[in-house]
Amino acid sequence: MAQLFDRIALIGIGLIGSSIAREIRDKQLSGHVTISTRSAETLKRAEALSLGDSYVLSPAEAVAGADLVIVSVPVGASAAVAQAIAPHLKAGAIVTDVGSTKGSVIAQMAPHLPETVHFIPGHPIAGTEYSGPDAGFIGLFKGRWCILTPLPGTDEAAKAQLRAFWESLGSNVEEMDPDHHDKVLAIVSHLPHIIAYNIVGTADDLETVTESEVIKYSASGFRDFTRLAASDPTMWRDVCLHNKDAILEMLARFSEDLAYLQRAIRWGDGEKLFDLFTRTRAIRRSIIQAGQDTDQADFGRHALDGKG
């Protein structure tokens, strides 16, 4: 594949950053990749995995001369990273991120970044419940959506270049208003994770059913929630804190609908239950038809399953 950028700087080299690094290396999308991460330990691991061409702890040093800067850290760390890299960015560089929330990332980063760079926030809708540089793999973004949330007036050529980058990783790219992104992701990603964390926590707190029973009989449904509930605690703490309004709005709707379901069960209203369960089954079929999952019986447990 053709080289898209002379120099790329990757700030953060966990699941997402290292998957991007592996793709760049595999497809030779850049002449030089500099990797920066917070800890010396992770940096050493990235080097051992040969994920880039040079390795530095300082994000400021990493971005010097880079044409594309990709920030892949927990969303709560966005302001500090933007502040650290801002004075060292090359004029004309594209600065993007992969954070799961967009309004908050823009509010944290935009005020620090110079007008000489193109800041184009992004979010690949792909991931797993694993973290760190060893967790990344080639193919993570293939057939998945990557949402860009550019600010008004963003340079069209820079947008096209970033779009081409994600497309070369196999993603389908869509543009969205940041607020809308945060609402959509609240229902498709953030709420399911919160529900999973909650149900697994509830099971853990039960006194009448033992932990060994929960684990022993987990294949009856519980197991599918535990995959989501095993996701990175730092990442998900930050998502909850940084998409607060949209999540609270969706949680309110969810609680209302749960009360409706509770009532139907209490009053033995089988018709209501049957209607809802029929409607929801059709959604699952649409997801499979859209190529966002397979109908294999091991749903949720195969390595290439995407979420985010």
| Interface positions with ligand NAP (CB under 6 A) | 12-17, 37-39, 42, 72-75, 77, 98-100, 123-124, 127, 131-132, 232, 235, 307-308
Nearest approach in angstroms of CB 182 to ligand NAP is 12
Nearest approach in angstroms of CB 45 to ligand NAP is 8
In this complex, which beta carbon is closest to ligand NAP, that of residue 132 or of residue 143?
132
Nearest approach in angstroms of CB 136 to ligand NAP is 8
In this complex, which beta carbon is closest to ligand NAP, that of residue 261 or of residue 299?
299
In this complex, which beta carbon is closest to ligand NAP, that of residue 272 or of residue 307?
307
Nearest approach in angstroms of CB 230 to ligand NAP is 11
In this complex, which beta carbon is closest to ligand NAP, that of residue 269 or of residue 293?
293
In this complex, which beta carbon is closest to ligand NAP, that of residue 39 or of residue 212?
39
Nearest approach in angstroms of CB 259 to ligand NAP is 31
In this complex, which beta carbon is closest to ligand NAP, that of residue 215 or of residue 287?
287
If you write DSSP's letter for every residue of 149-215 in order, what string do you get? -PPTT--HHHHHHHHHHHHHTT-EEEE--HHHHHHHHIIIIIHHHHHHHHHHHHHHH-SSS-HHHHH
Nearest approach in angstroms of CB 21 to ligand NAP is 11
